[in-house]
Amino acid sequence: MNFNFKNKNVFISGATHGIGLACAISFAKLGANVITFSRDKKKIINVKKKLVSLRANHLIEEGDILDEKFVHSFSKLVIKKYKNIDILIHNVGGGGRWGKDNFLDTDLNVWNEVYLKNNRGLILFTKYFLPTMIKKNGEGLLQSDLYVALNLEKKIELGLVLLKPHSMRSSNLFQKNIILQKKI
């Protein structure tokens, strides 16, 4: 497969550290426009510095995925500025670092928040951005898990699943979802 990410609009939730940050940097190196958000101002500043040093076009705002008003207004801003999203990566997590060492001692409210971040966030951003992805005639969706992010600089040659246009399915390896778009 031969992918060209130059000037592609890549939206990554959870891109201020870990795998999400690695994705943001890799896509920026490949010439993509990187779009993300975070609740943490220090992490936002850090990511901005890295993307500026790569001369990457980017948009990073402060906000919380659990705040539906933020998700709505940020999504509208993204569409106004970039017109469409080419690649949507939902990477917001929150699993392992919260709660007690003993799973049984962790309050159910903690797991509810983790569930909302991982699933409701994915649904909301997909709801906003999928229509812009569908409008691009002749393009389909590709989906894979984020382990392929480690292979971005190899043009993501491994681990991709080609889907019929406008269909989606997800697998839960590492409990992450990625939607990629490519001409069929």
Q: 3 in a domain, yes or no?
A: no
Beta-bridge partners for 143: 161, 179
**CATH number (domain holding residue 64):** 3.40.50.720
User: 137-147: string of b/e by CB count within 10 Å (b at 16+)?
Assistant: eebbbbbbbbe
Q: Give pLDDT tens digits for 85-96.
A: 888 888 887 655
Query: Which pLDDT belongs to residue 104?
Result: 82
Decide: 116 and 39 in contact? Cβ < 8 Å.
no
For every residue of 75-124, DSSP letters joined together read HHHHHHHHS--SEEEE----STTSS-SSGGGS-HHHHHHHHIIIIIHHHH
Q: How many CA atoms lie within 13 A of 18 on its CB side?
A: 12
Query: Per-residue pLDDT tens for 1-37?
Result: 456 789 999 999 889 988 889 889 999 999 999 999 9
**Pick the residue with more confidence: 27 or 105?**
27
Predicted local distance difference test score (pLDDT) of residue 164: 34
Predicted pLDDT of residue 2: 57
| Residue 127 pLDDT exceeds 80 | yes
Domain annotation covers residue 129 = yes
**161 lies in which domain range?**
9-183
Q: Is 155 helix (H, G, I), strand (E, B) or coil?
A: coil
Instruction: For residues 43-63, give the mean pLDDT.
Output: 97
| pLDDT reported for residue 129 | 86
pLDDT for 82 beyond 90? yes
User: Residue 1: inside a domain, yes or no?
Assistant: no
β-pairing, 33-38 vs 58-62, is parallel
Residue 130 lies in a domain: yes
Buried b (16+ CB within 10 A) or exposed e, 13-41: bbbbeebbbbbbbbbbebebbbbbbbeee
- Residue 47 pLDDT exceeds 90: yes
The domain total for the chain is: 1
Indicate whether 98 belongs to any domain: yes
User: Any bridge partners for residue 162, and if so which?
Assistant: 142
The torsion defined by the Cα of 132, 183, 155 and 90, in degrees rounded to 10, comes to 30
User: Is 95 a member of any domain?
Assistant: yes
* Per-residue tokens: 63: 């906000």
